[in-house]
């Protein structure tokens, strides 16, 4: 049983950003109306940046929002590759109280410990007796079909015994170690918003939409679980290959 899946195709990257901001904003407003708080989990990467900036310009109940990260690179928060740092810059125009941001400790020398601490934080924020169900989660897809920091051929997409995992470096791809939410948390989100743009993403998007082993195409994990899935693509990424 899942909450449905749809694909929205934006004419160009600017429309993708506008629609992305609008969908996140609506999910925030609905969550605040229903439960008094909206919990958002953000991915990094280049694609969502403009959507975050447009979101920050909207009028929303910012004081009732809480911000978490889908994944983080093993760098300090002020490093140019920090997902937290990038999103904070993008969201700077929104009046979100500082204590409403909950970042992953990418700079920790003990990433497994940092993953366990983030898991405890999530349990505490959502309530120990409740599921960790984000109201809205943004996701991306890499050229190798990873989503979050679940990389292909590593077994990471199959991790089910933790909410947060430390991921080894991918030296062949020039990528540092990561912290990431795992598939069960991704699948539990009420709205999963997967953003992809550009012709380079066409093949991996098509693969991710086809059933098959998640270890080969980790972005397939977004299709499982009770939440609603929206593929938000620009025309170039959406075109049938």
Chain residues binding ligand 6PG by CB under 6 A are 43-47, 70-71, 73, 83, 140-142, 146-148
Closest CA to 9 of 136, 138, 226, 194: 194
State the minimum distance, in angstroms, from the CB of residue 32 to ligand 6PG. Answer: 25
- The residue number whose beta carbon is nearest to ligand 6PG equals 140
State the minimum distance, in angstroms, from the CB of residue 7 to ligand 6PG. Answer: 17
State the minimum distance, in angstroms, from the CB of residue 162 to ligand 6PG. Answer: 18
Nearest CB to ligand 6PG, comparing residues 148 and 164? 148
State the minimum distance, in angstroms, from the CB of residue 81 to ligand 6PG. Answer: 8
Nearest CB to ligand 6PG, comparing residues 31 and 196? 196
Nearest CB to ligand 6PG, comparing residues 20 and 140? 140
Nearest CB to ligand 6PG, comparing residues 32 and 159? 159
Nearest CB to ligand 6PG, comparing residues 142 and 227? 142
């Amino acid at each position: 049983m899942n909450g449905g899946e749809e694909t929205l195709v934006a004419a160009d990257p600017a429309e993708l950003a506008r629609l992305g901001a609008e969908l996140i904003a609506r999910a925030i407003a609905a969550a605040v109306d229903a439960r008094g708080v909206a919990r958002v989990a953000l991915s990094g990467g280049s694609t969502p940046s403009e959507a975050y900036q447009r979101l920050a310009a909207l009028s929303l109940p910012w004081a009732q929002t809480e911000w978490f990260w889908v994944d983080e690179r093993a760098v300090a928060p002020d490093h140019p590759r920090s997902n937290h740092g990038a999103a904070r810059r993008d969201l700077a125009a929104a009046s979100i109280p500082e204590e409403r941001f909950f970042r992953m400790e990418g700079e920790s020398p003990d990433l497994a410990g940092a993953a366990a601490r983030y898991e405890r934080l999530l349990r505490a924020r959502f309530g120990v007796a409740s599921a960790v169900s984000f109201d809205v989660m943004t996701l991306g897809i890499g050229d190798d079909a990873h989503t979050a920091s679940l990389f292909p051929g590593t077994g990471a997409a199959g991790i089910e015994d933790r909410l947060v995992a430390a991921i080894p470096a991918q030296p062949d791809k020039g990528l540092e170690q990561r912290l990431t939410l795992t598939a069960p948390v991704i699948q539990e989100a009420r709205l999963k918003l997967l953003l992809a743009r550009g012709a380079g993403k066409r093949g991996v998007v098509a693969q991710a939409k086809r059933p098959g082993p998640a270890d080969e195409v980790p972005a397939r994990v977004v299709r499982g679980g009770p939440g609603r899935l929206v593929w938000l693509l620009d025309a170039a990424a959406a075109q049938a290959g």
